[in-house]
Structure 1
Amino acid sequence: MGWSHLRAFALLTGFLGAMPAFAEVKPEVTALNQAPHSALYVGNSFFYYNNSLHAHVREFVLRAETKNNFRSVSATISASGLNWHDVAAYFRPDAVGSYSFDAQNRVIFTPKGQKPFDVTILMDCSQCPVHPELKTLFTEYAEKHAATVRANGAEPVLFMSWAYQNVPEMTGELAD
């Protein structure tokens, strides 16, 4: 058996051995109540870099068979935790998301009285949910911001980052 076959076998064995751990982690909520037409991304550089998560989602929406006038806004602070964000301020009337631009660069104002976002995706710093000194802040602000989002008529979605490459045990901790 050559090195490439041995390496493939080792990877497959490791993956199959880890499958029970993946199977144990089941989120309580697996779908939104309805398909959103607008989203607010609240987080940090994980949402912003590499052409931003909201831009990639928009590309999926634009290429979908069913056309949807999906709009999104990203409120990101580099290296931030959820406690750095004033989520209530993002829902003030005539503020974030109160207008956008169409393909011809014309201003499109959000109709008065329309809720600014259908869904708000919240992300804490990558290690905050499992860090001994920060995980209580994560819990506190995830709950606080989720309540704020719901009070403004949107659905909160918690986005958990991936484990660090050199700390694979973070996967289980983040999933829990």
Structure 2
Amino acid sequence: MKHLKIFLLLFITAPLWLTAQKAMPKKVLMVGNSFTYFWNMPQMVNAMAAEDGYPMEVHQSTIGGATWEEHYNEKRGSQTRLLLKSKPWDYVILQDHSLSTIEAPGRFDEYGKKLAGAVVKAGAKPYLMMTWAYLSNPLMQDVISNKYNALAHELNTEAIPVGDIFMKARKLRPDLNFYFDDKHPSSIGSYLIGLIMYKALTGNSVKDVPDRLLSKDQRGEQVILSFIHHETGEFLRQLVEETEFTTKLIQE
């Protein structure tokens, strides 16, 4: 009889436990610089998750112009390594300075490995966020893509191909302005990056992501993160939707 009661208790509570486990939000930390935070890209990804009903929290550790070396050695006020220890992260996205692969490839490799090691030690999975070429020099992209992919392979992880898709969008739609200046993304560019990150992080479809993404400030007032013309949004969503991602973290 005692064993029967224990069995019944487990039978009743197990579904509740599984539901609670499933509802636990995935915790994501984005480490980088203005290439990550421009036009509130991390907040856009949070808004996409909320719109989709997917339990995910995206946080950031970003400093304008920061390199992985500065994040690792806690320079310029970086608190990345402290943040890694602050909570149990699921995934940490690492984005280096836009010129590191070209002007400092040794530093890129050394501190990419060190940061990824710190992420693993903290119990999270590291992923690399591939950057994109400058408006003035699209030939940069081959070097950037090769270095990110090679490092990801060495780390036994993956590089989310933001740069490759960004450049593809630029080639397919030269009428659209994906740049704010020579290197930073425009609001359209950041919306595209947000779509790429959300699709890569979750494996979920982005075809129904709205053109207008919303959030709230500390007072509960509505904040509009993006205004995208519907035709432009349709193109960007289709482009990302038709991209095959291997970083479908939702399946892990």
| Partners of 2:34 and 2:63 within 8 A in 1 | yes
Matches within 5 A, 1:65-104: 67-86=53-72, 87-93=80-86
| Partners of 2:45 and 2:58 within 8 A in 1 | no
| Partners of 2:29 and 2:91 within 8 A in 1 | yes
User: What is the CA RMSD across the aligned residues, in angstroms?
Assistant: 1.5
1:118 counterpart (90, 96, 109): 90
Q: Are 1:127 and 2:99 counterparts?
A: yes
| C-alpha distance in structure 2 between counterparts of 1:175 and 1:46, whole Å | 15
| Partners of 2:85 and 2:122 within 8 A in 1 | no
| C-alpha distance in structure 2 between counterparts of 1:125 and 1:49, whole Å | 14
Matches within 5 A, 1:2-151: 37-50=26-39, 52-64=40-52, 67-86=53-72, 87-93=80-86, 115=88, 117-131=89-103, 134-151=104-121
Please report how far the alpha carbon of residue 91 of structure 1 lies from its aligned counterpart in structure 2 after TM superposition: 2.0
Structure 2 unmatched runs, 5+:
1-24, 73-79, 147-252
Name the amino acid aligned to 1:61.
Answer: A
| C-alpha distance in structure 2 between counterparts of 1:165 and 1:91, whole Å | 34
Q: TM-score w.r.t. structure 2 length?
A: 0.43
| Partners of 1:126 and 1:160 within 8 A in 2 | no
Please report how far the alpha carbon of residue 163 of structure 1 lies from its aligned counterpart in structure 2 after TM superposition: 0.3
| C-alpha distance in structure 2 between counterparts of 1:165 and 1:125, whole Å | 16
Q: TM-score w.r.t. structure 1 length?
A: 0.61
In structure 2, what is the equivalent of residue 174 of structure 1? 144
1:164 counterpart (134, 147, 172): 134
Q: Which has the higher helix share?
A: 2
- Higher RCO structure, 1 or 2 (CA under 8 Å, sep 6+): 1
